[in-house]
Amino acid sequence: MTEPSPKSKKLSLRRSLQAVAGTSALIIGLLSLLLPSPYLVETPGPIFNTIGEIEDQAVISVTGEQTYPTDGELNLTTVYVAGAPTSTVRVPEAVLGWLNPRTDMQPHELIYPSGTTAEQVQQQNTAAMTSSQDLAVAAALNELDIEYTQELSVIDFTEEAVEVGTDDQLEPGDRVLAAAGSSITGLEGLRDAVNTAAGKPVALTVLRDGEEIDYEVPTYQETDGDYYVGIMLENQFSFPVDVQIQLDGVGGPSAGLMFTLGLVDEMTEGSMTGGENWAGTGTVDPDGTVGPIGGIAQKVIGARSQGIENFLVPSANCADLQGRVPDGLTTYAVDNVSQGREIVEAVRDADEDFLAGLESCGS
């Protein structure tokens, strides 16, 4: 039997090593596809008519005030968010998300701090939805000139606020009356004052033990680009009407505008929509200020897929829609509840002169 030459042995060994290396690379590549992605995937979610019914139960029910029949639709819009900590998005899903124009990708750490659990996310979303409903009732009553009482009180501080000494000035139980010299009725007004300060201290007036006290409170910037004072606040309302909103499985604060318009429509004689079907989104403050939200591109896509032709967009979100408005959908920029109501009624009345002067988002 002829023994292989040294050269043949080297070639055989090299081929064996190449085969092993190739197999290892293939296995590593396949395993990497099973790894969780560090991104959240946002896709269009369902829409819900705030002046309609779900399973024969009214979404909005009002007692203690006269209500009237409605028609048409005033839909709130939603976004599906997939990814840790509530679910797992694998690398292939993330790649497909990047390629899909209906989808947006967000770094996980930008939305949820490290260590956030699925239970905490659920609690936060539920609390935000409950708060948005209270704010919507307040905004609707404000729009209808129905009086109510409200207090915005300090309940705690973030770690960042403690580091800069905010807790040495303010105390839990302090009622916040004004920011930067202007009276505030809710969180949106405070946010505006803090962002205007842009890293400089903001003047806050609080009521403590019956005495008004002024403080210069430090602000700081987060990774989202906004400025904060790190004060955890609670809105406490006393309403002359009882409003029940039935909407299970939906969380977050972005339904405020459409809840408010739905309430105004139900508590006002005549139809706001005139039978037209609308959708929209946005947070609300008790004074009617409409604030920006996340996932706006997915929300307009979701609305259009359900046949909606008119959409109310918070003005601060208009830039996010550049080139992303679906064909057949008209978007209207909204700064406050009164403006949103006027736009819906103008479309109902075919008031072309009024509509011609409005700002359209994304075009």
Domains defined for the chain, CATH in brackets: 45-78+118-144+241-356 (3.30.230), 149-237 (2.30.42.10)
Model confidence at 30, pLDDT cuts 50, 70, 90, reads: very low
In whole angstroms, give the CA distance from residue 36 to residue 86.
Answer: 12
When the pLDDT of each residue in the chain is averaged and rounded to a whole number, the result is 83
Check residue 92 and give its pLDDT. 56
3-class DSSP state for residue 25? helix
Higher pLDDT, 225 or 289: 289
75-79, 94-98, 176-180, 241-245, range with the lowest pLDDT: 94-98
- At 101, which amino acid appears? P
Higher pLDDT, 321 or 99: 321
In the chain, where do the E strands start and end? Answer: 39-49, 53-54, 57-58, 60-63, 73-82, 104-107, 149-157, 175-179, 182-183, 202-208, 211-217, 220-221, 227-228, 231-238, 242-245, 277-280, 283-284, 290-291, 310-314, 330-334
Higher pLDDT, 319 or 24: 319
pLDDT tens across 276-313, in order? Answer: 999 999 999 888 999 999 899 999 999 999 999 999 99
Is it the case that residue 37 has pLDDT exceeding 90? no
In whole angstroms, give the CA distance from residue 253 to residue 127.
Answer: 9
pLDDT tens across 96-155, in order? Answer: 555 566 667 566 655 666 666 667 656 665 666 667 788 899 999 999 999 998 888 999
Model confidence at 28, pLDDT cuts 50, 70, 90, reads: very low
3-state DSSP helix/strand/coil % of the chain, to nearest 5: 35, 30, 35
Higher pLDDT, 235 or 193: 193
Is it the case that residue 48 has pLDDT exceeding 80? yes
**Residue whose tokens read 């509530």:** 86
In whole angstroms, give the CA distance from residue 258 to residue 337.
Answer: 9
Check residue 55 and give its pLDDT. 87
In whole angstroms, give the CA distance from residue 46 to residue 286.
Answer: 26
Higher pLDDT, 97 or 61: 61
Check residue 33 and give its pLDDT. 44
In whole angstroms, give the CA distance from residue 4 to residue 339.
Answer: 89
- At 306, which amino acid appears? Q
pLDDT tens across 336-357, in order? Answer: 999 999 999 999 999 999 999 9
| Three-state secondary structure readout of 123-167 | HHHHHHHHHHHHHHHHHHHHHCCCCCEEEEEEEEECHHHHHCCHH
Do β-strands 211-217 and 73-82 pair in parallel, antiparallel, or remain unpaired?
unpaired
φ/ψ of residue 69, rounded to 5: -65, 150
Model confidence at 94, pLDDT cuts 50, 70, 90, reads: low
In whole angstroms, give the CA distance from residue 93 to residue 285.
Answer: 37
Is it the case that residue 246 has pLDDT exceeding 80? yes
Higher pLDDT, 119 or 49: 49
